[in-house]
Amino acid sequence: MLGYTTIGVTDMDRAVAFYDALLAEIGGKQVMGMDRIKFYGGEAGGAMLALCIPYNEKEQSHGNGNMIAIPGGSREGVDKLYAKAISLGATDDGEPGERTPYFYGAYVRDLDGNKLCFFEMKTG
């Protein structure tokens, strides 16, 4: 359904170091890129996350209400991703915990203020 989602960054080298380490926890890696944009993916043909220095050369900003949700695979996986992100300099925006009987999640802001959610969702 989705091909890729792009988030703006202010310092590509800093963002790449953060996302290389974070996404490696779930098998994600950089799959292609150029100077201003880098794409991360897992399995071939799956949705990707792109980091981008804004093309209009204006300052990066994170949207109010925008969030990237990354599956943790399990509660332990959510906890691990949250801890890894915090260790890499992300800021807490909601500690790991059960939000509903079907949803366990944790929230952080990356180094540029973009909101990330790590989650496990069970269907009823």
Q: What is the pLDDT of residue 22?
A: 97
What is the sign of the dihedral through the CA atoms of 80, 40, 68 and 90? positive
What CA–CA distance (Å, rounded) separates 10 from 54?
A: 8
Q: What is the pLDDT of residue 124?
A: 65
120 pLDDT band (50/70/90 cuts)?
Answer: very high
pLDDT tens-digit profile of 51-93?
Answer: 999 988 888 887 777 899 999 999 999 999 999 999 999 999 9
Inter-CA distances, 100 with 78, 97, 121, 124, Å:
15, 9, 9, 12
What CA–CA distance (Å, rounded) separates 44 from 49?
A: 13
Task: For helices 75-87 and 12-24, give the axis angle rounded to 10 degrees.
Answer: 150
Do residues 108 and 92 lie in contact, with contact meaning Cβ atoms separated by under 8 Å? yes
Residues, the chain: 124
CATH 3.10.180.10 assigned to 4-54+64-121: yes
Nearest 10 degrees: Cα torsion 64, 68, 73, 79 = -50
36 pLDDT band (50/70/90 cuts)?
Answer: very high
Q: Using alpha carbons only, how large is the chain's radius of gyration in Å?
A: 14
